[in-house]
């Protein structure tokens, strides 16, 4: 699976099923500033806060903007409601990925049970009115015990008011295992013991 972060809470997943690439775009919202794709051509598009202010989509993808589940080309997507919109669970290539959207407060025990233990957790860390604070995000990582945690929604050109990545790293107490513009990971590559922190630089 290929994983890229495009700024804010937007993540691009490229997974392969039966020799066919499947593209999943999560939170493809147009920012008010900075660089961002003008359009996407995914098979699946997930929105944590409805489709308002979304980028253009081509190829007639399957869209999830409310609670529910779908299976598209072998990729399972579950959307669960919370106080801050939707959070997502995605199963592909035998990986369990959790994307927490634009949550601003820690999720409750019932939601944690639904989400299960993530192989990969995307957690918003930028604080303010839109995201979890660095400490809240770190506490959630401790509670969820993912095998890999990937911070999103931190300061970049299209989200200049968000908090710094360094604040989250300091609070979490983990040294990044990898920093790159794209992560390529398979089930066999997952750590078997402690959680690993992987950092994605904005890839656009």
Indicate whether 18 pLDDT > 80: no
pLDDT digits (tens, 9 = 90+) for 107-125: 999 999 999 999 999 999 9
Beta-strand relationship, 120-124 and 95-99: parallel
pLDDT for position 51: 92
- Phi and psi at residue 124, to the nearest 5°: -75, 130
Q: Which residues lie closer than 8 Å to 98 by C-beta, 6 or more apart?
A: 87, 88, 89, 90, 115, 118, 120, 121, 122, 144, 146
Q: Which residues lie closer than 8 Å to 173 by C-beta, 6 or more apart?
A: 138
- Would you place residue 129 in the very low, low, confident or very high pLDDT band (cuts 50, 70, 90)? very high
Is the pTM here over 0.85, yes or no?
yes
pLDDT for position 126: 97
pLDDT digits (tens, 9 = 90+) for 45-59: 999 998 999 999 998
Q: Which domains does the chain have, with CATH numbers?
A: 2-200 (3.60.15.10)
């Amino acid at each position: 699976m290929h994983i890229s972060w495009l700024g804010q809470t937007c993540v691009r997943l490229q997974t392969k099923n039966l020799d066919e690439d499947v593209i999943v775009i999560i939170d493809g919202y147009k920012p008010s500033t900075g660089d961002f794709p003008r359009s996407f051509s995914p098979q699946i598009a997930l929105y944590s806060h409805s489709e308002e202010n979304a980028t253009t989509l081509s190829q007639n993808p399957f869209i999830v903007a409310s609670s529910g589940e779908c299976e598209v080309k072998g990729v399972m997507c579950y959307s669960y409601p919370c106080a801050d919109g939707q959070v997502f669970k995605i199963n592909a290539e035998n990986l369990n990925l959790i994307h927490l959207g634009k949550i601003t407060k820690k999720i409750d025990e019932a939601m944690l049970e639904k989400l299960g233990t993530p192989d990969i957790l995307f957690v918003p860390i930028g604080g303010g009115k839109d995201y979890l604070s660095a400490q809240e995000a770190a506490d959630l990582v401790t509670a969820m015990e993912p095998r890999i945690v990937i911070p999103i929604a931190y300061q970049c050109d299209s989200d200049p008011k968000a908090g710094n990545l360094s604040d989250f790293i300091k609070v979490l107490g983990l040294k990044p295992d990898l920093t790159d513009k794209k992560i390529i990971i398979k089930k066999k590559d997952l750590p078997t013991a402690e959680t690993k922190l992987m950092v994605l630089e904005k890839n656009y």
